[in-house]
Amino acid sequence: PGQGYHHFVGKDASRAFVTGDFKYGLTDDVAGLSPEHCAGLLHWRDFYRNHSTYALKGRVIGRFFNEHGQQLPALKKVERLVRCMGGWVRCMGGEWPEKRRGGGEREAHKQMSM
């Protein structure tokens, strides 16, 4: 308790991890996060998963993984959202930056909903 990462011990605080909101964000609820925040979640997941210094100590069962460590639909949805960020595509029921008639671009994206 009281150490640098104590907020994350024994729970999935994904929202706080990418937003820095340690008052209300200590939850695995990622609804409303931007695609960039979702990309951040996957970045840090992969960083810790593949880092030689940080050893897996257990699993947090909940929204993203079941008791066998298998991915649940919510994680697959975040992964799909991030994959869709790379072009002029519609994804996850939201609109991404797209060309409109007459030139120019408009930013019309819907944030993540879970």
In a domain, 113, yes or no: no
Contact 28, 112 (CB under 8 A): no
In a domain, 50, yes or no: yes
In a domain, 91, yes or no: no
In a domain, 59, yes or no: yes
| Contact residues for 40 (Cβ-Cβ < 8 A; gap 6+) | 17, 18
In a domain, 79, yes or no: yes
Per residue in 10-63, pLDDT tens?
A: 888 989 989 999 899 999 988 888 888 888 888 888 888 888 898 888 778 899
In a domain, 108, yes or no: no
* pLDDT for position 69: 85
pTM for the structure as a whole: 0.64
Beta strands in 9-81 (DSSP E): none
- Split into its structural domains, the chain has a count of 1
- Three-state SS for 76? helix
Per the structure, the complete domain to which residue 19 belongs is given by 6-85
Per residue in 30-39, pLDDT tens?
A: 888 888 888 8
CA distance 94 to 112: 8
In a domain, 27, yes or no: yes
* pLDDT > 50? residue 103: no
% of residues, the chain, pLDDT over 70: 73
Going by C-alpha positions, the residue among 76, 95, 99 that lies closest to residue 85 is 95
